[in-house]
Amino acid sequence: MKIKSKKDIKLDRIELKQDPDDHATAVSPVQSDKPDIGKMLDDVIKRDGPFFCSQPFIHMYIPTYGFAHPCCNTSMNVKKHIAEIGIDGVWNQPELAGLREEMANGNKDRDRTIKTCYRCIETEWLGFPTPRIAYNNDMKNDKEEMAELDRLVEFVKNNPAAEYPIPDKIHTAQIKVWGNYCNLKCLMCSAEDSSSVAEEWIALGEYTPDEIKLRSEQRSGSTVPFTPPLIRYEDNAIDEEEFWRNIKKTKRIQLIGGETFLIKQNIQILERCVEEGWAKDKKLFIFSNNYGYPKMEKIKELLSHFERVHYKCSMELWGPKNDYIRFPSKWDEVERNIRLIDSLPNVDIGFAMTLNPISIGYVDEAMKAGEEFGIMPSYFNVTRPRWFTLKSLPDDVRDFYLDRLYAQDFKMIQKCTKAIEYLEKREFDQSLYEEMIVRIKARDKLRNDNILNHFPEWKAHFKGEYYD
């Protein structure tokens, strides 16, 4: 692996009228008004006990744009770029330190938790599982990492405001600083996570490259060392030795893009782990759209060396409907690659889909596919882009989706409970609906596609010569 360590990168703090933290405010997928996360947190604690998460203590998440987050389920990020502080420098940033202190001390203070953990809080308040619960449960399976977590929590309790010790072990590292190259233009994705989405935003005139860059700067309060649409590995300027030290002490490596296996560094990580003999003691957590890989057999062979592989298929539904939402995916290839990887004895296949205004009415199709693999697909609630949340879903289509799901047999209805409850609780927002129609029309024309070919129940909402 060749990583250019650009020690001369200079990033300037920006004076903003708005506090960067305000860019990570709670956005409910179903409520029109801003949710009262504080009250929801009170209810969750009263029902389930202290709100604790292992993530800020012993996990590492650095996304494509180089500003670390406490976890992958929050928009809250630290305000210094990885090029300034390095990987080890992330642990003592105030955004993580404040969160750890609140959680280690039983939620006596909660301001940072409310700002950071609003997605998990609302989802748990609604009665559904979250990444927080999943990560806490995963920790219990790895005794050495669990002991390290206990040590770190005790340190925070007994040493208020002290410098946090760099963990001797990391449970999950998701260091995806290799860039945002992706081959798909998923409706619910962002320019920071997909170069193809960034290119489409620019082609549609929705954003200029400078405006995309400004999004990251407003969130962080700092200049950023990249120019959209493509973020490259050179832009984040990490130190290679420091990176491998962290990988070596990590139990579970999480690989994600951009698009995971179209980014060469992710393949090199697998190769190094196999060459060094680390793979047999490591777990992998992989997200992949399973499309566009010319060397899938090589990837399969590399994966076979690891202790365990949890292979999450990022997809919408099971079948060609996936290709519309995750354009220009081709379902035949997607399914072929899923079945190839599923043939490995050390792999657990998982499906991850979003509950968005188009897919939510067909979750039964994903459930039926999951039954074949002995799993229940997991849902991610779409909160961004704001125009693609359930609040954009018109009443007639919402009712059509409810009728579809309630027409299933009892066992399937039980499996679709989360989708049904979200449909029933959603509050309609006319302005977001109008924005969604405009944006989907623009994408259909640019892509030479047509939503009505895949989701004809939307016919009343797409008028004009193109759709006639």
pLDDT tens sequence for the chain (468 residues): 655 554 566 676 666 666 666 666 667 777 777 889 999 999 999 999 999 999 999 999 999 889 999 998 888 889 889 888 999 999 999 999 999 999 999 999 999 999 999 999 998 998 888 999 999 998 998 999 999 999 999 999 999 889 999 999 999 999 988 999 999 999 999 998 999 999 999 999 999 999 999 988 887 788 888 889 999 888 888 899 999 999 999 999 999 989 999 999 999 999 999 999 999 999 999 999 999 987 899 999 999 999 999 999 998 988 999 999 999 999 999 999 999 999 999 999 999 899 999 999 999 999 998 888 888 888 777 777 889 999 999 999 999 999 999 999 999 999 999 999 999 999 999 999 999 999 999 999 999 999 999 999 999 999 988 998
303 membership: H or E segment, kind and range: helix 296-303
116: enclosing H helix or E strand? helix 111-116
Question: What does the alpha-carbon distance between residue 146 and residue 151 come to, in Å, rounded to a whole number?
Answer: 9
Q: Determine which helix (DSSP H) or strand (DSSP E) holds 410, and give its type and residue range.
A: helix 410-415
For residues 366 and 205, give the distance between their C-alpha atoms in angstroms, rounded to a whole number.
34
CA dihedral 264, 269, 275, 278 (to 10 degrees): -170
E strands within 320-415? 347-355, 378-381
pLDDT in tens, 192-224: 899 999 999 999 999 999 999 998 888 778 888
Q: What is the pLDDT of residues 224-262, one digit of tens each?
A: 888 899 998 888 888 999 999 999 999 999 999 899 999
Neighbours of 42 (CB within 10 A): 16
The single-letter code of the amino acid at 389 is: T
What is the CB-side half-sphere exposure of residue 80 using CA atoms within 13 A? 14
Q: What is the dihedral of CA 112, 114, 117, 122, to 10 degrees?
A: 180
Question: Which residues fall within 8 angstroms of residue 99, CB to CB, at 6 or more apart?
Answer: 56, 70, 112, 113, 116, 117
- The pairing of strands 347-355 and 283-288 is unpaired
pTM, rounded to two decimals: 0.91
Distance between CA 425 and CA 32 in Å, rounded? Answer: 11
3-state secondary structure 32-63: CCCCCHHHHHHHHHHHHCCCCCCHHHHEEEEC
Structure tokens given for 454 = 């895949």
Distance (Å, whole) CA 443 – CA 364: 27
| Residue in 247, 167, 225, 288 with CA at minimum distance from that of residue 1 | 247
Residue 49 has φ and ψ, to the nearest 5°, of 100, -175
